[in-house]
Amino acid sequence: MEAPLADIRSVRRSREVAVKIGAGKGGGTHLVSNTELAGFRCALAELTPGQDSVELDSELAAALNVKAGASVRVAAL
């Protein structure tokens, strides 16, 4: 399936933030994805994103194939 990115609501409402690895703080339900085209990964997680970063636990970071300092895209659901 294809669609113009501007027509996808979750893309319009998402933002790119830096990854911090920690315990993960819980919070609201979000889609979180890496920013890769090849090797794209996305997960549903309880997160509390900050203004420019989000804390992921090591298990979620591994599932998304990201490390501390990498960029992820988050969208509240």
Instruction: Quick: pLDDT tens for 20-31.
Output: 999 977 899 999
CATH number at residue 12: 2.40.40.20
Provide the pairing of β-strand 15-22 with 53-57. parallel
User: 5 phi and psi, to 5 degrees?
Assistant: -55, -40
Question: Looking at the 3D structure of the chain, how many domains does it have?
Answer: 1
DSSP E strand boundaries for the chain: 15-22, 28-34, 42-47, 53-57, 71-76
Q: Tell me the CB-side half-sphere exposure of residue 56, using CA atoms within 13 A.
A: 30
Range of the domain at 22: 5-76
Overall pTM > 0.75: yes
Q: Which residue has the higher pLDDT, 43 or 6?
A: 43
